[in-house]
């Protein structure tokens, strides 16, 4: 190969078919850059093509290091479709764990399968893992944006692909992750909806008697929707005054483990929670292993049914409907406002780290705004009235 077709050692220019350089003329195309290394153990030359010389050079450097360390393997013949099938199957049977080292929730592997089938596999499914370039994934992202999908939907659609390539790297099937460095649309977080305790009580008062217990526990104890649906009467300890969260609920699988190890916790029952649960237990006539919120002793309410009945009552009362997740936000804000320390709030919220609680709810700390200004003023006033120093008196 002539020098003009080689950018540096181990990297060749790949001109397009119609390029004038193929006929001895001046290049009039945008050539790609093919990097290659030779594996002495297998006697094979490994190649990978990139849009830029920089990307090709970085890959070749990594590949040479990997060859010396014995970690580089020829590109696996596995396609994205096959890797996706293996991922979902492993998530389902528990052989593939999440980053916390725990099995994926049933809703997670169902969600991954739906996202992959809807957005990723129609485009990248037949492509071999080692042949997917960052440009291919970026084209996929840009295509989803062109379909006017929301930034959060696009992010969620790419997440399973990230997991697939991270797993392939750990298995020495590839050495470059084409999902790194993507230009993703910004996901703008929304302010958590927080209702005052008085307004929360107005929401509860507008509900039929039989519906209040579910929403009272959500608004004043902060259980997640799945935790509410998986709650059993033996988890409600009126003597100790707390609710033990020991499981969650999946609409297909039924009772499942809670989201994380921190999800297993005991949450205090405030007065309204105790009263509503006691009345609900008396009406239902159930106990022990029976579900607290169930259509029968062993079958949980459908979440859509719970919300539909509540929304109907709230709209009739002129109230904007609230979701179970928003009700949980309300509860955690009340924990903070009541003066609990951050460790307590984190434990009752079921967060694995107090920093998670602070990052999510730190803006709710009492003492901001006017109260903070008053505290600062009082501090400065005290300092300004301190007796002058010897140097000042002289």
- What CA–CA distances, in Å, run from 11 to 3, 5, 6, 60, 390? 11, 9, 6, 8, 76
What's the CA gap between 290 and 287, in Å, rounded?
Answer: 6
| pLDDT above 50 (res 4) | no
- DSSP result, 9-64: TTEEEE--TT-GGGGTS---S--EEEEEEEETTTTEEEEEEESSHHHHHHHHHHHH
Q: What does the block give as tokens for 357?
A: 């609680």
Helix (H) or strand (E) holding 319: none
Q: What does the block give as tokens for 228?
A: 């509410």
Domain 80-170 has CATH 1.10.150: yes
Least confidently predicted of 188-202, 204-218, 307-321: 188-202
pLDDT digits (tens, 9 = 90+) for 327-363: 999 999 999 888 888 999 999 999 988 888 888 887 7
What's the CA gap between 96 and 89, in Å, rounded?
Answer: 9
Name which residue leads in pLDDT, 381 or 1: 381
For 167-176, give one letter per residue: b (16+ CB within 10 A) or e: bbeeeebbbb
Choose the most confident range, by mean pLDDT, from 217-221, 284-288, 369-373. Answer: 217-221
What's the CA gap between 121 and 139, in Å, rounded?
Answer: 14
Tokens 């014995």 belong to residue = 70
What's the CA gap between 173 and 169, in Å, rounded?
Answer: 6
Tokens 């490994």 belong to residue = 46
Average pLDDT, the chain: 86
pLDDT digits (tens, 9 = 90+) for 232-288: 999 999 999 999 999 988 888 888 887 677 789 999 999 999 999 999 999 999 889
Q: What does the block give as tokens for 134?
A: 């960052």
The reply to whether 80-170 and 197-364 are identical in fold is no
Name which residue leads in pLDDT, 162 or 297: 162
Name which of 349, 344, 369, 371 is nearest 360 in CA terms. Answer: 349
pLDDT digits (tens, 9 = 90+) for 109-158: 899 999 999 999 999 999 999 889 899 999 999 999 999 999 999 999 99
pLDDT digits (tens, 9 = 90+) for 91-118: 999 899 888 788 888 888 899 999 999 9
Least confidently predicted of 17-21, 132-136, 287-291: 17-21
Cα angle value 92/93/94 (rounded, 5°):
95
Helix, coil or strand: residue 291: strand
| pLDDT above 60 (res 162) | yes
φ, ψ of residue 34 to 5 degrees: the values are: -105, 115
Residue ranges per domain, the chain? 3-69, 80-170, 197-364
End-to-end CA gap in the chain: 88
- Does this model's pTM top 0.75? no
- Helix and strand numbers (H, E) in the chain are 16, 9
CATH for 197-364, options being 3.30.70.1230, 3.40.50.1970, 1.10.443.10, 3.30.460.20: 1.10.443.10
What's the CA gap between 275 and 217, in Å, rounded?
Answer: 11
What's the CA gap between 178 and 139, in Å, rounded?
Answer: 12
What is the torsion angle, in degrees rounded to the nearest 10, for the CA atoms of residue 305, residue 309, residue 312 and residue 314?
Answer: -120
């Amino acid at each position: 190969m002539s020098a003009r077709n080689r950018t540096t050692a181990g990297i060749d220019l790949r001109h397009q078919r119609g390029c004038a350089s193929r006929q001895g003329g001046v290049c009039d195309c945008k050539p790609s850059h093919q990097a290659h290394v030779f594996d002495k153990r297998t006697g094979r030359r490994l190649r990978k093509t990139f849009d830029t010389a920089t990307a090709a050079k970085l890959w070749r450097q990594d590949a040479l290091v990997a060859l010396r360390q014995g970690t580089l393997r020829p590109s696996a013949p596995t396609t994205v479709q096959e890797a996706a099938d293996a991922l979902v199957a492993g998530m389902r049977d528990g052989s593939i764990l999440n980053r916390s080292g725990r099995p994926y929730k049933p809703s997670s592997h169902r969600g991954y399968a739906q996202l992959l089938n809807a957005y990723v596999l129609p485009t990248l499914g037949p492509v071999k893992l080692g042949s997917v370039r960052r440009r291919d994934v970026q084209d996929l992202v840009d295509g989803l944006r062109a379909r006017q999908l929301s930034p959060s939907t696009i992010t969620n659609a790419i997440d399973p692909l990230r997991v697939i390539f991270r797993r392939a790297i750990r298995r020495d099937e590839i050495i470059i992750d084409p999902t790194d460095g993507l230009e993703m649309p910004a996901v703008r977080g929304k302010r958590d909806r927080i209702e005052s305790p008085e307004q929360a009580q107005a929401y509860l008062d507008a509900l039929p008697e039989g519906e209040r217990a579910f929403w009272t526990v959500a608004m004043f104890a902060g259980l997640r929707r799945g935790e509410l649906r998986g709650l059993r009467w033996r988890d409600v300890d009126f003597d100790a005054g707390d609710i033990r969260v020991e499981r969650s609920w999946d609409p297909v699988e039924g009772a499942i483990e809670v989201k994380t190890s921190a999800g297993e916790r005991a949450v205090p029952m405030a007065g309204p929670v105790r009263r509503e649960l006691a009345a609900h237990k008396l009406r239902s006539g159930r106990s022990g292993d029976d579900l607290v919120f169930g259509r029968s002793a062993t079958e949980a309410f459908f979440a859509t049914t719970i919300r539909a009945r509540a929304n109907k009552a709230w709209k009739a009362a002129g109230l904007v409907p609230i979701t179970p997740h928003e009700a949980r936000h309300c509860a955690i804000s009340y924990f903070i406002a009541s003066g609990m320390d951050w460790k307590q709030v984190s434990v009752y919220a079921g967060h694995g780290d107090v920093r998670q609680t602070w990052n999510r709810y730190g803006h709710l700390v009492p003492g901001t705004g006017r109260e903070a200004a008053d505290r600062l003023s009082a501090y400065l006033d005290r300092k300004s009235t301190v007796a002058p120093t010897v140097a000042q008196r002289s």
